[in-house]
């Protein structure tokens, strides 16, 4: 049980081929569905996003859960996490007061109700330790949400991809 989230068993994948093989069809099936919500874990003590936990995006009945770790690993799961359940950090030496929050990141709520027009896997081609890292980008007519690796935690962007990404539209 990762993050003490009941039922959450994230398989870690690395590289475009592995991620595409396992998830391309299901990610592609989201196209045309409307974004219902985006959930992140919030650190109540710091009043900030706790980027180590998965990012949840709901599209009319389908929830995709994305979590990055190390420099290039990503986990994509489907409908495994209940954002109304408590979150407990698994390290007994560190205590965090954590809770799921909907649309806490600026700009996310503005995309609610928008139909997804494409899903892209973005493969980092920069000549650095993140080379080959894959981000997942959800494209709408008037915006996007990209969940990427921010050096062993999740990052969120609402802007077009950096030129160092190779874009693989699914």
- The first and second tokens of residue 92, run together, are 């007994």
pLDDT of residue 7: 66
* Domain extents in the chain: 2-169
Residue 51 · residue 104 · CB < 8 Å:
no
Distance CA 49, CA 72 (A): 21
Radius of gyration over every alpha carbon of the chain, rounded to an integer in angstroms: 15
pLDDT of residue 1: 39
pLDDT of residue 10: 78
pLDDT of residue 34: 98
Residue 64 · residue 76 · CB < 8 Å:
yes
Residue 49 · residue 40 · CB < 8 Å:
yes
Distance CA 65, CA 39 (A): 9
Distance CA 94, CA 45 (A): 13
pLDDT of residue 93: 63
Q: What is the mean pLDDT of each run of 10 residues along the chain (170 residues)?
A: 64 86 96 96 91 94 93 90 84 76 82 96 86 93 95 93 95
Distance CA 38, CA 27 (A): 16
Distance CA 99, CA 113 (A): 24
Which DSSP string corresponds to 51-76? TTSPEEEEETTEEEEEEEETTTEEEE
């Amino acid at each position: 049980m990762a993050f003490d989230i009941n039922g959450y068993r994230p398989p870690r994948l690395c590289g475009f081929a592995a991620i595409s093989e396992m998830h391309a069809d299901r990610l592609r099936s989201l196209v045309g569905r409307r974004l219902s919500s985006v959930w992140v874990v919030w650190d109540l003590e710091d009043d900030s996003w706790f980027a180590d936990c998965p990012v949840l995006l709901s599209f009319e009945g389908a929830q995709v859960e994305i979590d990055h770790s190390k420099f290039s690993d990503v986990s994509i799961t489907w409908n495994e996490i209940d954002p109304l359940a408590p979150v407990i950090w698994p390290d007994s030496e560190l205590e965090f007061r954590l809770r799921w929050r909907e649309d806490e990141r600026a700009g996310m709520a503005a995309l609610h109700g928008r139909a997804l027009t494409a899903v892209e896997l973005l493969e980092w081609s920069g000549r650095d330790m993140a080379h080959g890292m894959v981000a997942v980008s959800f494209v709408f007519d008037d915006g996007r949400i990209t969940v990427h690796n921010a050096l062993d935690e999740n990052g969120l962007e609402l802007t077009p991809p950096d030129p160092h990404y190779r874009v693989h539209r699914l």
